[in-house]
Structure formats: C-alpha cells, structure tokens
Structure 1
C-alpha cells in the first residue's frame, strides 16, 4: 500500500460505492474494485478487511455481501484522505481567499509551512509549480512574490480549460454503473443542495464546492497533465473569488444551478447533454473571470485591453 492517505481515500470511495447498492448485494470482485477505485489490489484487500471488521460487509466464503449501508461516522475525515500536496493546495487556496492576496504581495514560505503544518521544502515545491506559469516569482533573496495575471493570461487559461474539461467530462459516458465516481458525484450534488437549503448563510462555502466538482471531472481523464493544470485552474479561480465580491451571491447562485444541470448531464451519460452543459457553464465562468479582472484593473487605474479569445459556444 503506497500510503495511509491512499488507503483512507480508497476506503471512503468504496463506502460511496456501497451507498449506491442495497443490503444483500455483492460488493464486487477485488479486481473490479481495484479498477474503479484506481488503487492496487493490495489496497483493496486492506479496505475490504476494514469493511468486514466494521460489519459493513460479510464474506460467506463465496462472495462479499453488504450487511449494512454506511453512516457518516464510517468515513475518514477529508483531511486524512489527502496527500501532502493536496493538503497544501487546499490550505493555500484558503489562504488566498482569507488574506485577499494581491499582485506584488510577498508570500513567506516559512510562515506558510508553519501555518499549514508541513515542511518548508513541501511549500517550496508547491510554489515552484506556479512559478513555472509566471504566477509567482522567486526573488534572489529567496522570498516569493505573487505576480498575478492579466486578461490575456485568463483568456488562455479558459481556452485550455475548455479543451481539458470537455475531454474529461466525456469520460463519464463510459464509466461503469459501479464506478466509485458516481458516489463522489452524488456527494458533490448533496453539497450543492446543502448550500441551497440555507443559501444566505452558506454561500461563502461555494468556492470549495465549486472546486470539488471541477476537480472530480478533470480527475476522470486520469491524465497527469490535466491534473497538473487543474491545480493552476483552482488557484486562478480562487483568486477570482477573492477579488470579485460584486454580485457574489447572485453569481454563485446561478453557478450552483448550472452545476446541478452539469451533474445531471454527467449522470445521464448522454454525450451531447454533457457537452452542452459543460460549454454553457465554462462560458459563464469565462465571462465572470474576465469581468473580475476588468473591475480590479479599473480600481487600480490600469488600462484594460480586450483581447478576443476563442468562442465557448
């Protein structure tokens, strides 16, 4: 087993898979579970052993069947299922939102390592990823400066995002009924509905729910380059949420309903419906990102140059 977080993530994904089944049903063969959970059979065996210990499944010698459905306490906390890189990513996004990081502002790697409870080397590695894109620069003194991005950068980001996310979303057409992705998608849908139940109080949680959906979609590609790009997308749009508070509640309310349409399309496995929902939502995201940049530049007295980008329609 590669690491404890891999095991715990696989365990939670397996619980999500079980939630889609009924008591008495077979959970599936080890090989099938390994494929759907994207882990080794060794990890799957460890997951199955724990499921038996917790009396969620039972092995009668011929097959493993579900004895009871999972309850919330069966799941490992999300923080325990994340790799160090994923943990830094999430906390860095929170940092960007909470501190309202602006271009020209210094980012102290040592302070972040203490704040995130990770090693300074892990922080430096994370920051180096973004320095390659020009978002963060390392000064000769060793300090890091957040450079930010302009309209051209945002247009290019949205162009590439559409290519990658459409390719990833199309993968949902071929996912098997018992794939763990459906349980994850259902959990994300429930998170959206939870936001709507008390939207006035909960709308500030939207950035994390937004990121969970798009990260799940992009992870479907199982492409390391798309996954790496997703980290950049996540940072840019978190900056956007931080900078653009104008009509925030209204924009996020619209986005939630676009997400629910997107989720329904993914679940339908209808390729045309998926493409339509994806293109429509990505078009809205492009417009709001560019609008937030225009407002920020206007506030700082900068000239806003409108460079035509690829159409999203």
Structure 2
C-alpha cells in the first residue's frame, strides 16, 4: 500500500470512520491536501483487500463484517492456510527460513516494545504473506490471499491483551521452528493452531 493508503487505513482502524460509514472523497482530499484522484485510487486499492466497499454511483464505505463473516473467514483460513504452510515446508531452503525467522522476530520485538497495533498487524501480515509465498500451489496462494482481510486481522489485534499478543508472536516463532525442520505435520498443526487462536479471540468480541 502507498502512504496515502496507509493513512486512510489508519483512520478506519482507529474508527475515525466506522464500519458501514461513507467515505467522502472531498473530505479525505482536504484532510490530506491532495486532489480527489489519488483518494479515489487509494480507495480502489483498499477495496481490493476488503477494507472498503466501492459501489457504482454510490462511492465508498468502510466494509462492515458481521461476527458470522469473521468466523467464516478465520475457519476457512485455518483449513487452507495451514495446508499452504504444509506445502511450503517442502520447498523452503535455509535462506528462506532465515528470512522467515527475521520476520517472526521483528513482530516479536514490536510486541515486546508495545508498538502500535497498526505496526504489529503489518508485521503479522508480512510474516503470513512470506510463508504463503513459499507455497508451490499458485491457486491455493490466491485462495488464501483472498481470505486474509487486513482490516479484520487489525481490528482483532486491537482486542488482544498484552499476553495474547505475545502468544500470537510466539506462534510465529514456533511455525519457523517447524519449517526449519521441514516437518510438514508440525508446520500444518502449528499454523492451524495459530489461526484458530485468532478465530476464538475474534468471535469472543
């Protein structure tokens, strides 16, 4: 995402604009000191990841996910992303494992340092995307990618306790340990457990 995308995303994450609320292009343009064109482009990019919904002749609104929507997304992710991680275990080399470990450690350091939810969520999304990039099945990568909604993950993180945030970060390190041993069963189980942890936190809200 661009800096403008990130700035609008942050307004949505902090609920300056709440789920279902209309996003006024002129208002956003004035806020950021730009024309409507880059605002419109940013909203289209955010729509592609499910952050906003753009309707013809109606403009953009913050996407509203019901509890059932969130539960369905996490359940599907638990099945498919864990299988993608299993396939990745057969393809990763030592350099890939090192990169994954750095990514997992980066998130852990952000959690320990009490970084912003946006920064922690970004580190989380980066780690998951990196694991997914090593899945050799392109169609599965696309399917999993369509289920990872950054705004859903970020909103869920906002409700984590500090201990839950640390546990989530440690899960990433466990996944890397499993990948480093190319243990497909362990990788699959670790990823599924990690996503189910997020699922139960999400539906508890």
**Highest RCO, 1 vs 2 (Cα 8 Å, sep ≥ 6):** 2
Alignment of 1:76-115 (within 5 A): 85=1, 90-99=6-15, 101-109=17-25, 111=28, 115=32
Determine if the alignment matches structure 1 residue 159 to structure 2 residue 75.
Answer: yes
State how many pairs are aligned: 198
Distance 1:162 1:193, change over 3 A: closer
Give the Cα separation in 1 of the matches to 2:144 and 2:189: 23
TM-score norm. by structure 1 comes to 0.53
Structure 1: unaligned runs, 5 residues or longer = 1-84, 293-313
User: Which of 126, 130, 134 in structure 2 is aligned with 1:216?
Assistant: 130
Contact 2:81–2:144 (CA under 8 A) maintained in structure 1: no
Shift of 1:149: 1.2
Give the Cα separation in 1 of the matches to 2:87 and 2:15: 37
Contact 1:219–1:227 (CA under 8 A) maintained in structure 2: no
Contact 1:136–1:145 (CA under 8 A) maintained in structure 2: yes
Contact 1:96–1:238 (CA under 8 A) maintained in structure 2: no
Contact 2:74–2:199 (CA under 8 A) maintained in structure 1: yes
* Runs of 4+ in structure 1 over 6 Å off: none
Distance 1:187 1:156, change over 3 A: same
Which structure carries more helix by proportion? 2
Q: 1:182 — aligned with what?
A: 97
Determine if the alignment matches structure 1 residue 241 to structure 2 residue 144.
Answer: no
Structure 2: unaligned runs, 5 residues or longer = none
Contact 2:108–2:166 (CA under 8 A) maintained in structure 1: no
Q: 1:229 — aligned with what?
A: 146
